[in-house]
Structure 1
Amino acid sequence: MTGFQLEDVLPLTPLQAGMLFHALYDSDAVDVYTAQFAFTLEGTVDTAALRAAVGTLLRRHANLRVGFLHEDLDEPVQAVAADVPVPLEEHDLTTPDDGRTVEERVRAFLAADRTRRFDLTTPPLMRFSLLRTTPGHHRLVMTSHHILLDGWSMPILVRELFELYAHRGDDLTLPRVTPYRTYLAWLAGQDGAAALDTWRTALAGIEAPTLLAGRGATEAARPDELPETLVLELDAVTSERLRATARAHRLTLNTLVQGAWGLLLSRLTGRDDVLFGTTVSGRPPELPGVESMIGLFINTVPVRLSLRPGETLAELLTRLQDEQGRLLGSQHAGLTEIRATTGLDTLFDTLAVFENYPLDEETLRTARQGLPGLAVTGFEGTDAAHYPLTLTIAPGTALRITFGFRPSALDREETVRTVARMRVLLTALADGLDRRADTVSVLLDGERETLLARG
């Protein structure tokens, strides 16, 4: 059944099951759920210590040693390998190569690595590549399948990896790992029927999905297609005004951004009752040690925004936040089961991800403490989802929203206008929430005049 010695067999979370489905469905295409992070290193890299660190990391966390099996099984499982080879490769990019610069060779490697699929049946679904770029300079590339771990886990994993490197793979200074199995047991113990009843009530009356790209777009990706990105960055002043508006109305910044996206979807689709997806952290606070666990805890659930005549922005956003609050205890339910309560074959094709715990400079500062003769001076990361459009919201001094879109599903110029309209809406929300929600304009410069000229 497996090509490795079996240590344990675990069930899948709902989101893992969804990711497995998409990997199997698009088996010949680029797997968009392949995530890649590259760290810039300055100094002397001890490759033996790095290999020991990666090996100990995988030994400590059983759920990083899993393969996903489904053939001839009633339900897919994640099979834990007792031991896996250390997935560390070394590449020397300092040698001149067909006229390309070192940075061009790095970019070519990253692009090829990002599109190299994992065989989900064969662990580990994670690989490390050490690229030597110049004497004393390296890039450490960590590539993994999203089915293993989420963004909230990345800072934990990075800190642990570099601490293990500093101690040459010795984990005596690290706390004991709370097994991922503990979370899976908690998940299995939840009242699934009650959660779905809550979702059935929350989605009652939904008559049609909200599809920005139209039907069939999700399945229309080209085999070699990766999402393209556009970035909306509010200036620091507008970002602070937006946060101040949220505080004044006892709303979260997440609620304001979700509300803005829901309003824009309403205008773009011509519907007063819209749905989009969001990612929730999925870490139950009652589970001891959950804040330091590595794994996939997130879940994708619907957000519904329905407009009511005459309702102010403040009233709409307060209602949205209250409705989301009532769903907190039911966010563990699987999206497939949630969708089934509506009788629809799909619900939405856009996703909004709010990054509360991004991999940031603070993580790097913590990670590089005590590293012998080595400095982590920077990083870059890429991941994606299968939806035609994904908004990744990064709070900070300047609010930053990355729009990842599939060019086969959404026209680039139209997506540029969508980004601009989102800026208009967020700026309007920063100005206050007293106006009626159905009167807020999303027109861009010149569009009003064009419409008036057309009569």
Structure 2
Amino acid sequence: LNAMTMDGTDGPELVANWTWAGALFTAEQIQELAQTWFQALEALVAYAAQPHVGGLTPSDVPLVKLNQEQIEQLEAEQPEIEEIWPLSPLQKGLLFHALYDPQSADAYVTQLVLDLEGAVDGQALRHACQTLLQRHANLRASFVYQGLDEPVQVIARDVQLPWQELDLSGLSDAAQEAECARFLQEDGSRRFELRQSPSLRFSLIRLTACRHRLVLTCHHILMDGWSGLLFVQEMFELYANSGSGRTLPRVAPYRDYLIWLKGRDYAAAKHAWQSALAGLDEATRLAPAQLKSLVRQQTLNWDLPESLTYALTQQARQHRLTLNTLIQGAWGLLLSHLTARDDVVFGVTVSGRPPELPGVEHMIGLLINTLPLRLQASPKQPIADLLTAIQDQQTQLVEYQYLALSDIQRLTGLGELFDTLIVFENYPVNWQALQTTTGGLQLTKLSGSDTTHYSLSLVVAPGARLSFHLGYRCDLFNNKTVEQLMRRFNRLLEAIAQDPGQPIGGIELLEAAERQQLLVEWNATERAMPEATLVQLFEA
């Protein structure tokens, strides 16, 4: 008997191969033996599934360091435990922020809003989403930290999907939009209790018989933006096939990513990051001080003209740079201008999907990581040279992108290194296929809402016109200031597009009105001289 576990479409499958001496046994006898063996296994599973029978031991949870007493305590709180895993680096950070100020709104509650055309079978759609929870174990995670040296995510065997349906079909179009906006605001402000699974919920809003809006509200600790789109794709496939996953790729378990993380060379990673940040003597922060309470960001949205987007793309190709590098360079130069420093740091988000991990492109979970990007500029340096240095820096560190930001910051001894972040959303998603009618449904619009705890966060979406979404804390920045930042950032992009060979010091960031105010109005100190002697002035 040779038995092994194989990854199947719906998860792990036990496969057994039998060999025998043909002179001693017949095929029918071995078939009967195999059936009896599987029946015995099923009986053992059924017995172990009974309340207060069996349970996990430390050898069952090799990815975490838990003793038997700790495991039994977890099982007492949540009886049906399938697995226990560690957290990824960013999951640890998001858990910290969720616990930091439990009375404030959670900045990492995200929403995906799907506008659907066609007659929706609510029960079938709900079943498809429930199937996704069974298909991807990490979506059934709860996050436990009390009484443990390190937080863990506990995977429940079965979790019921939180689902609600709202009927707004009796309202006018304007009233529907107003009510939807109110609902999204209220729903997005509701915190998740991360100790209870699942940290997601669904709302199906009926607008007309053939128009619905599906809202997926999820804590960012469960999945990133790439994964959210994979989730939507799989949901439509399951809906169209009555809950069957036969047309879907095999599940790439999030557990495999955590195993991959466990095998990394953390000593080498720390050395690489320490070298990259050597000589950095202060953090780069725009906000005057870090406030304890978290405030959900407001957003300023704008698109670049198609001509400017094209010019930037051409410059990137000509200089063998990515478009992302050009955006990062402009943001770093803006920070350098605002802080009057030539050595600045800001956060960047990386996909965190190692190409050597099988099936990673189909994996649903939180794989992204936030890392510091350092920009060292001098006035005489050509813009193109600075951009090349930025890209080279990231290339040298690409194999160490798994290190936690908290570990990197400890290496510098400077605390939090930055309070601004750039996210370049370059997901390998077939939008045309996603919008194709599936199971009688067509996705006509996909929108999202997510924020961060940072003072400023810039989300960039590529396309014929680059789209920018600048999230900002309204308790730190007013609308006028943020709009001014947007205009200066755009002027930096224009300078890069026009002539990346020009020196950094030659870039003009001030508008004509700002220059007039700075150089003329605020410098208007001249006064008319009185036509009198000093003695006459005293006598007067």
* Normalised-by-shorter TM-score class: over 0.9
Alignment check: 8 A CA contact 1:55 1:169 kept: no
Q: CA deviation at 1:220?
A: 4.4
**Equivalent of residue 439 in structure 2, options 346, 352, 372:** 372
Q: Distance in 1 between matches of 2:369 and 2:468?
A: 20
2:117 corresponds to 1:42: yes
Percentage of identical aligned residues:
48
DSSP 3-state at the match of 1:130: strand
**Closer, same or farther in 2 for the Cα pair 1:96/1:151, shift >3 Å?**
closer
Q: Distance in 1 between matches of 2:398 and 2:303?
A: 29
Q: Which has the higher contact order (CA 8 A, sep 6+)?
A: 1
The aligned counterpart of 1:307 is: 377
**Equivalent of residue 135 in structure 1, options 186, 205, 209:** 209
Q: Distance in 1 between matches of 2:120 and 2:261?
A: 41
Q: Deviations 1:161-182 (Å, cap 9, x if unpaired)?
A: 0110111211122222011111
**Equivalent of residue 306 in structure 2, options 236, 239, 260:** 236
Q: CA deviation at 1:26?
A: 1.7
The aligned counterpart of 2:509 is: 442
Q: Deviations 1:305-342 (Å, cap 9, x if unpaired)?
A: 01135211111111111111111111110000000110
**Equivalent of residue 142 in structure 2, options 67, 70, 75:** 67
Alignment check: 8 A CA contact 2:224 2:368 kept: yes
**Equivalent of residue 288 in structure 1, options 358, 365, 389:** 358
The aligned counterpart of 2:43 is: none
2:215 corresponds to 1:148: no
2:338 corresponds to 1:260: no
The aligned counterpart of 2:389 is: 319
2:259 corresponds to 1:185: yes
DSSP 3-state at the match of 1:341: helix
TM-score by length of 2: 0.80
2:456 corresponds to 1:381: no
Q: Distance in 1 between matches of 2:277 and 2:518?
A: 35
Residues 267-286 of structure 1: pairs in structure 2 closer than 5 A = 267-286=337-356
Residues 149-168 of structure 1: pairs in structure 2 closer than 5 A = 149-168=223-242
Q: Distance in 1 between matches of 2:79 and 2:468?
A: 42
AA partner of residue 97 (structure 2): H
The aligned counterpart of 2:158 is: 83
2:269 corresponds to 1:195: yes
Q: Distance in 2 between matches of 1:312 and 1:445?
A: 24
The aligned counterpart of 1:207 is: 281
Alignment check: 8 A CA contact 1:307 1:316 kept: yes
**Equivalent of residue 328 in structure 1, options 367, 376, 398:** 398
Tell me, which stretches of 5 or more residues in structure 2 are unaligned? 1-73, 524-540
**Closer, same or farther in 2 for the Cα pair 1:451/1:358, shift >3 Å?**
farther
Q: Distance in 2 between matches of 1:372 and 1:448?
A: 59
Q: CA deviation at 1:357?
A: 0.9
AA partner of residue 161 (structure 2): V
AA partner of residue 214 (structure 2): L
AA partner of residue 345 (structure 1): G
Alignment check: 8 A CA contact 2:239 2:439 kept: no
The aligned counterpart of 2:297 is: 227
Larger Rg: 2
The aligned counterpart of 1:340 is: 410
Q: CA deviation at 1:404?
A: 0.4
Q: Distance in 1 between matches of 2:434 and 2:423?
A: 25
The aligned counterpart of 2:533 is: none
Alignment check: 8 A CA contact 1:50 1:168 kept: no
The aligned counterpart of 2:91 is: 16
Q: Distance in 2 between matches of 1:127 and 1:73?
A: 28
Alignment check: 8 A CA contact 1:65 1:123 kept: yes
2:426 corresponds to 1:356: yes
**Closer, same or farther in 2 for the Cα pair 1:386/1:176, shift >3 Å?**
same
2:82 corresponds to 1:7: yes
How many pairs are equivalent? 447
Tell me, which stretches of 5 or more residues in structure 1 are unaligned? none
C-alpha RMSD over aligned residues: 1.6
Q: CA deviation at 1:373?
A: 2.7
DSSP 3-state at the match of 2:341: coil
Q: CA deviation at 1:44?
A: 1.2
Alignment check: 8 A CA contact 1:151 1:358 kept: no
Q: CA deviation at 1:432?
A: 1.4
AA partner of residue 223 (structure 2): L
Q: CA deviation at 1:267?
A: 0.6
DSSP 3-state at the match of 1:40: strand
Alignment check: 8 A CA contact 1:8 1:79 kept: yes
The aligned counterpart of 2:127 is: 52
**Equivalent of residue 175 in structure 2, options 88, 92, 101:** 101
Alignment check: 8 A CA contact 2:236 2:439 kept: no
Alignment check: 8 A CA contact 2:436 2:443 kept: no
Q: Distance in 2 between matches of 1:100 and 1:309?
A: 53
Q: CA deviation at 1:439?
A: 2.5
Q: Distance in 1 between matches of 2:177 and 2:519?
A: 51
AA partner of residue 156 (structure 2): A
DSSP 3-state at the match of 2:111: strand
DSSP 3-state at the match of 2:311: helix
Q: CA deviation at 1:42?
A: 1.8
**Closer, same or farther in 2 for the Cα pair 1:145/1:4, shift >3 Å?**
farther
Q: Distance in 2 between matches of 1:311 and 1:136?
A: 59
The aligned counterpart of 1:409 is: 476
Q: Distance in 1 between matches of 2:444 and 2:380?
A: 52
The aligned counterpart of 1:392 is: 459
Alignment check: 8 A CA contact 1:162 1:368 kept: no
AA partner of residue 331 (structure 2): W
Q: CA deviation at 1:4?
A: 4.9
Q: CA deviation at 1:5?
A: 1.1
AA partner of residue 231 (structure 2): L
Q: Distance in 1 between matches of 2:146 and 2:519?
A: 61
Q: CA deviation at 1:72?
A: 0.5
Q: Distance in 1 between matches of 2:408 and 2:349?
A: 14
The aligned counterpart of 1:122 is: 196
AA partner of residue 324 (structure 1): Q
Q: Distance in 2 between matches of 1:310 and 1:39?
A: 49
Q: Deviations 1:89-116 (Å, cap 9, x if unpaired)?
A: 111123459x981221111111111111
Q: Distance in 2 between matches of 1:96 and 1:310?
A: 62
Q: Distance in 2 between matches of 1:387 and 1:19?
A: 12
TM-score by length of 1: 0.95
